[in-house]
Amino acid sequence: MLKKERHAFIKREIDLHNKVLSADLCIPLKASEDTIRRDLQELEKANLLTKVHGGAISKSIQFSLENQIFYSQSEKIVIAKKAITLLQDGMTILLSGGTTIIQMIKALPPDLNATFITMSLPTALGLLQHPKSEVIFVGNKILKNARMAVGAAAVDGIKQINADLCFLGTNSINAAQGITDLEWEIIEVKRAMVAQSKKVVSLCISEKLNTVQKLKVCPLSDLDYLITELPGDHPLLMEYQMEGLTIL
Amino acid sequence: MLKKERHAFIKREIDLHNKVLSADLCIPLKASEDTIRRDLQELEKANLLTKVHGGAISKSIQFSLENQIFYSQSEKIVIAKKAITLLQDGMTILLSGGTTIIQMIKALPPDLNATFITMSLPTALGLLQHPKSEVIFVGNKILKNARMAVGAAAVDGIKQINADLCFLGTNSINAAQGITDLEWEIIEVKRAMVAQSKKVVSLCISEKLNTVQKLKVCPLSDLDYLITELPGDHPLLMEYQMEGLTIL
DNA sequence: AATATTTATGCGTAATTATGCAGTAACAAT
DNA sequence: ATTGTTACTGCATAATTACGCATAAATATT
């Protein structure tokens, strides 16, 4: 990881959240706190941020309120860290959209050398920051509220792919129905993703466990892994384990 | 391996991954680190990348690090306002990437009801803010440097389209060569855009008038409109008018 | 064709840079 | 005041780079 890359990463974190904690940067950047601190020093000297005890904050919004942009962010970070343990060099990986996936992208090891395929604009944009990965966007009509490509051409595009892994940001999952979602166009795309992947991983914060929406994406039997922020032996997860899912 | 070949290889790596490590290049290029470093020096002098300790990074990352303030923003706003006068309800419009295009998107009339097609991730994301328009993203492999989809599938995707208007954010234009650009993969996409549009509009800040890059996108005769921040009767624009372009 | 001249490349060594570690000082929160 | 965390200093180490030079290859000149 080059110094400038770390700087870019830090700057982006600041732009996104208006602050960073030094300790939080150590893992994704694979550097010691010393190095991070020196990075922050340099960025401060370049007038790009303001260093404070424990990290740094944005120059523009120093008085900023604690903006919890992302709902349940800390849980999603836990999920993200579990998710990246499944990744290996050389893999082809399908990614859906959603804030959990975004957290996962931010947690990607910078030296991972994989091919990522997505239909989600925010996911694609996030992946551009990754130094080594290749990014393929399966395009078509963009569904505005989901910010992803949907429709026949997108589904056809996915069908050209043979992926090793598929990560689904999951809105609703329960034992009887499996994964369910709200919009037909999204369902179509997710089904195609599931069909084209060797292994399917559901990322789901625990509060969405055992909930159900109108439309069915796929049964539990199509899934291989379930990742929540809970420990693997939590009672809520038992019935999923019984169905044959690997719980992380 | 010829020097030019090495340079081409290095440029491609930068485009794809936003960075290269000197050490990583030694094996594929069969050259010593010294040679690689000298290559990087030359490419830096030619303004094609930024050398850093350990390798080199893309200029665009460097730029986004230094100032997120758009270059020549006020000029681009003037251009954007002129550009939107060409738009009408029901049109199908191809958009390239670039900060001028982003300004144009911000200036779109909220009640415009048009279909926008693009290969640029930032452009697509900007368009999502627009309440009424439909957005279609022509996907494929993403060129990190330019944040846009490139390659055969993207070009094929464009060929399915019949657009009324095409807006090109233009890096270089002159009377003799027409529009020129730097990277082959971008050229391919822009050519396809031009070919599939009834009318083609070049958006170009005046300082990029009468400049030229290595690769040719299209001759002036393929263009219909030229929009700069200058008044239409400015002497710099005369020769373009003589060539039959409508100057806004 | 032979020779000179420029250009490109690789190697050894010295200098520079980047990073992590240990110990100590400063800070924040109870 | 006490305690745990974060920051700074100096130092050690490893990686990267620059420099001088020798050699090889390409190009120009006679």
pLDDT, averaged across chain A: 86
CB–CB contact A4 B135 (8 Å): no
- pLDDT over 80 (residue B68): no
Q: For chain B, count helices (H), then strands (E).
A: 10, 15
pTM score, whole prediction: 0.74
pLDDT of residue A193: 95
**Closest residue by Cα to residue B137 from A2, A145, A31, A150:** A150
pLDDT of residue A60: 62
- pLDDT over 80 (residue A209): yes
Cα–Cα distance, A241 to B139 (Å, whole number): 37
3-state secondary structure of B67: coil
Band (A54; pLDDT cuts 50, 70, 90): confident
Give A141's contacts in chain B (Cβ within 8 Å). Answer: 134-136
Mean pLDDT, residues B103-113 taken together:
89
Q: What DSSP assignment string belongs to chain A?
A: --HHHHHHHHHHHHHHHSEEEHHHHHHHHT--HHHHHHHHHHHHHTTS-EEETTEEE-STTTT------STTHHHHHHHHHHHGGG--TT-EEEE--SHHHHHHHHTS-TT---EEEESBHHHHHHHTT-SS-EEEE--EEEETTTTEEESHHHHHHHHT--EEEEEEE-SEEETTTEEEES-HHHHHHHHHHHHTEEEEEEE--GGGBT---SEEEE-GGG--EEE-SS-TT-GGGHHHHHTTPEE-
pLDDT of residue A62: 40
Question: Sign of the CA dihedral A70, A74, A75, A81?
Answer: positive
- Beta strand A55-57 with A50-52 is antiparallel
Mean pLDDT, residues B29-48 taken together:
89
Band (B226; pLDDT cuts 50, 70, 90): very high
Task: Lowest mean pLDDT of A120-124, B22-26, B209-213, name the range.
Answer: B209-213
Determine the residue of chain A that is closest to B139 in CA distance. Answer: A139
Q: How far is the CA of A94 from the C1' of C9 (A)?
A: 44
Find the nucleotide nearest B33 (Cα to C1′).
Answer: C10
The larger pLDDT score, comparing residue B225 to residue A14, is at B225
- pLDDT over 80 (residue A71): no
Query: Does the CB of B26 fall within 7 Å of any strand C atom?
Result: no
pLDDT of residue B61: 67
Return left, alpha or beta for B34; rule: phi > 0 is left, psi -120 to 50 is alpha, else beta.
Answer: alpha
Band (A64; pLDDT cuts 50, 70, 90): very low
The larger pLDDT score, comparing residue A151 to residue B213, is at A151
Query: Does the CB of A38 fall within 7 Å of any strand C atom?
Result: yes
Query: Within 10 Å of residue B6's Cβ, how many Cβ atoms?
Result: 19
Task: Express each pLDDT in A85-95 by its tens digit.
Answer: 999 999 999 99
Which residue type occupies A238? M
Which residue type occupies B5? E
Query: Does the CB of B34 fall within 7 Å of any strand D atom?
Result: yes
Cα–Cα distance, B117 to B42 (Å, whole number): 37
pLDDT of residue B62: 61
Band (A69; pLDDT cuts 50, 70, 90): very low
How far does chain A reach from its first CA to its final CA, in angstroms?
A: 28
